[in-house]
Amino acid sequence: GIQVEQSPPDLILQEGANSTLRCNFSDSVNNLQWFHQNPWGQLINLFYIPSGTKQNGRLSATTVATERYSLLYISSSQTTDSGVYFCAEGTYNNAGNMLTFGGGTRLMVKP
């Protein structure tokens, strides 16, 4: 199956700083998603981005499917952005839904 690698594994930022998280895939992607895991363990669906660029407030994501990578940008970071960010490739069809996750990037934003 597809392999998903994320970098960096850990990131510490000062509040207000910008950051870029990267996700590399071993094969072509069709259903790339980004998630944020909050301190309570819940995974929040940030972006569904199989290709192109999307923005939602201070967060934006870009996927270059032909080069098998995706980037998540966080601008003007806030302490509430802390947590673990995961990218995942999804399979959604009659054979079943499933996600293959990367190892995650643990982000800590300091006040």
Interface residues toward other proteins, by CB under 8 A: 31, 33, 35, 40-45, 48, 86, 88, 90-104
CA distance 48 to 68: 15
Quote the CA–CA distance of 64 and 103 in Å, as a whole number. Answer: 20
Shortest distance (Å) from residue 44 CB to other proteins: 8
Nearer to other proteins, 3 or 18 (CB): 3
Taking the complex as a whole, the smallest distance from the CB of residue 94 to other proteins amounts, in Å, to 7
Helix (H), strand (E) at residue 68: none
* CB closer to other proteins, 5 vs 69: 5
Q: What is the DSSP string of 1-47?
A: ---EEEE-SEEEEETT--EEEEEEESS--SSEEEEEE-TTS-EEEEE
**Which residue lies nearer to other proteins by CB, 73 or 101?**
101
CB of 97 to other proteins, least distance (A): 5
Separation in Å, CA 27 to CA 3, 58, 66, 102? 7, 29, 10, 13
Compare residues 64 and 98 and give the one whose CB is closer to other proteins. Answer: 98
**Minimum separation from the CB atom of position 70 to other proteins (A):** 14
